[in-house]
A and B are shown apart, each in its own frame.
Chain A
Amino acid sequence: MTSPLRREDVAHVAKLARLSLSDAELDQFTLQLGQILEHANDMSSLDLEGVIPTAHPFGLINVVRDDVVRPSLDRDEVLAMAPDAEDGRFAVPRIMGEAP
């Protein structure tokens, strides 16, 4: 059976995830991810007529909290953990262009 996943699909997903993969890794992950997808595809062979999709393993809905302010972290402590900070803010390499 041919893999449901092509090598270029894996390359695309890796690019979206900002992962740089070697040729060998691309081959390896195409095979492994393909096996996972094939396994998921096994579901198609079952008769699931009338079975309600499971959205979440817990049977809970409407888990909410009260709108009450709780203490935030100490800014200096947090910024001290960051690679770089300036003017009370996190400093990062300049991103060209706008957020999507």
Chain B
Amino acid sequence: MTLPGEWEMVVGLEVHTELKTATKMFCGCANQFGSEPNTNICPVCLGLPGSLPVLNERAVELAMAIGVALHCRIASSTFHRKNYFYPDMPKDFQITQYDLPINSGGYLDLPDGSHVSIERAHLEEDTGKSTHLGGTGRIHGADRSLVDYNRSGVPLVEIVSAPDIRSSAHARAYAAELRGILIATGASDGRMEEGSMRIDANVSVRKPNAPFGTRCEIKNLNSLRSLHRAIDYEALRQIDVIEDGGTIRQETRHWDEIFGETSTMRTKEEAEDYRYFREPDLVDLDPNQAWQDRVRNGLPPMPAERRQKLTARLSEPSQAQLEAVEVVIDLGLENFVNAAIDAGVEPALAVARAANELAAGIEMTPNLAPEAFSATVLMEQGGALSATQSKTVLGELLASGGDPKSIAKAKGFEQLSSDSLGSTVAELIEQNPDEWARYREGDEKLAQFFIGQVMKLTKGQANGKAVIAELQARR
């Protein structure tokens, strides 16, 4: 979206990612989404008196992995208590990092060439989950909240960008690239729908080169789509206020996905005073160079490098092909594409089938062996399967695995022998003398007519390229 009247938006994002550890940040309870409520709880994550936190080594390593991937400086850090009252936080404080975060001063380069600075990426613990029961007329639970502490104490890293983002599309591209990095580092599964990655956006507007305007922070952005919509809505709201002679109040706003609008949650005057102080039950965290190197050396290639490698296998890729490469990398499908290319498939075809057919059935890819993918696309390339048939075979392989040749046979996708295709084409030429004459005179559109007729007669088993070859041989 383009903003009206030369307005420019300025956006900084705070991305919270849950870390994929076996246990919580400060206790041995399982870090597991979807367990029965309150089955992963203990005195530490319930904040019972006398319980003491002990830091999870794996959480520290995943936080460092994120720091390395984002080119941050890893430094000696401390933990603080952030004090406030809310029932989903039983200790009445959240353990977080304040003035000395583990990672600071990094950056993220996006596929479009833009550069977003990362201010910090610090460790903290998640809160529990409350469900508000409300209203009147209910037998149970009117005006009550129910709290599940399974998520209480789950390790998080909060990644804070500089206000370097200039549009909703830019914000979305940043979040998508960051999500890819978090998945690649093994720090997160990137499942936004399960809340394992949550975003707050700081949005302000200004005229070009003017100082930054007053910002509002938008909470509750749980999908890339919400992020995109909320930022656009908020920037336009601020422009309306300013153009009507008003001023923007610094405040926290809540995004409502259903109504598609943001509304005031609290103003700066009402902002909590968190009374941060050092967490006396935890000592400093100061990873030495050897520990940092171990994490650095254990990191797999990041999406940008993988994208570059795959793009290099395509000759003069089109914009659409570059976008298909992005899909392949985002979904981690390059093992299929590389296997197919190594088996002799045209890189562009391998990328296209992965970015479309495999992407459409992404949750079923464990059923599909890279060899089966390669074999199917090779059959298509050789003309043994039409494009439509190839897609059908891939769909079947994704759904239930198996052998491409047997599936093709079972579906009746027998290759038409060139004899039988030849006689079908000859028959059609005889039956459609006018169309044939126009084709011979150079009207190439008629080729489509003949292909259509052949497909009809062969129930889609013919290969379009083979039909054209037959037509040209008789021209």
Contacts and interface: CB of A to CB of B under 8 A. Distances in A.
Interface of A: 12-13, 16, 18, 55-56, 58, 60-73, 75, 78-79, 84, 86-95, 97-100
A10 to B, nearest CB: 13
Nearest to A87: B146
B143 A69 contact: no
Nearest to B78: A55
Contacts of A60: 283
Query: 6 shortest A-B CB distances, which residue pairs?
Result: A70-B28, A67-B58, A64-B57, A89-B146, A88-B37, A99-B86
A98 B30 contact: no
Given A65-B57, A98-B265, A90 B38 contact: yes
Contact of B273 (A16, A18, A58): A16
Given A64-B56, A70-B29, A86-B141, A78 B46 contact: yes
Size band of the B side of the interface?
35 or more
A70 B78 contact: no
A87 B36 CA distance: 10
B28 A69 contact: yes
Contacts of A89: 37-38, 131, 146-148
B22 A75 contact: no
B313 interface: no
B39 interface: yes
A12 to B, nearest CB: 8
Contact of A73 (B41, B140, B219, B275): B41
A98 B273 CA distance: 16
B89 interface: yes
Given A67-B59, A75-B41, A95 B87 contact: yes
A65 B219 CA distance: 33
A18 B147 CA distance: 21
Given A56-B283, A63-B55, A93-B143, A73 B42 contact: yes
Given A64-B56, A67-B22, A94-B132, A72 B40 contact: yes
A34 to B, nearest CB: 18
A67 B23 contact: yes
Given A12-B273, A91-B144, A95-B87, 4 more contacts: A16-B275, A61-B76, A63-B282, A72-B30
9 contacts: A67-B59, A68-B22, A68-B23, A78-B38, A89-B38, A89-B148, A90-B38, A99-B89, A100-B84
A88 B29 CA distance: 17
Contacts of A78: 38, 41, 46
A64 to B, nearest CB: 4
B13 interface: no
Interface stretch (B284-292, B296-304, B363-371): B284-292
